Amino acid sequence: MVRFVRIPTYEQFDKMIDKTVKENGKNIYVLLFGTEDPSTGSSWCPDCVIADPLIRRHFSNEAHPESVLVEVPVGTRSQYKGRPDNPYRTHPRIQLKAIPTLIKWSANGSDDKSLVEDECSRDDMLKKFFSE
């Protein structure tokens, strides 16, 4: 059964991702996206809005049944856009360059794979990414 986990703040990220890996093994996918605007319920990031339903559909259809999708909002537009000090940009393992970013998270980091920006809204790439 596929599951979803949300890590609401950067301060919780390392602890929660380590716990998720420990409990679920190798089928961990991390989705980094622009935080939802409370007035609309959608991300402030237009690429994230386009990619989100596609990622979720492919995750549900192609990912291993024991997979986990970890949702990671990276902040409001003012906390992310033009901010090289955003903690996800400086995180030693993530080094976030653009959103959305989808990472197949490995236990040790050496086998991480990712899709970035418009790759996250390409059906062919998502199908392959979740089926490997």
Domain that holds residue 101: 3-131
Q: Is the pLDDT of residue 1 over 70?
A: no
Express each pLDDT in 88-106 by its tens digit.
999 999 999 999 999 999 8
Please give the pLDDT value at position 14: 94
Catalytic residue chosen out of the listed positions 17, 45, 99, 102: 45
Residues in contact with 29: Cβ distance below 8 Å, sequence separation at least 6, in sequence order: 59, 63, 67, 68, 69, 70, 102, 103, 104, 105, 130
Q: Is 127 strand, coil or helix?
A: helix
CATH of the domain at 11: 3.40.30.10
Confidence category of residue 16, pLDDT binned at 50, 70, 90: very high
Which one has a higher pLDDT value, 106 or 127? 127
> Is the pTM here over 0.85, yes or no?
yes
Closest CA to 30 of 98, 121, 103: 103
The sheet with strand 3-6 has its strands ordered as 3-6, 68-73, 28-33, 101-105, 113-116
Whether 120 is catalytic is: no
As given in the structure block, the two tokens for residue 103 are 């990472």
Is residue 99 within 8 Å of residue 47, measured between CB atoms?
yes
Catalytic residue among 30, 31, 48, 68: 48
Q: Structurally, how many domains does the chain consist of? A: 1
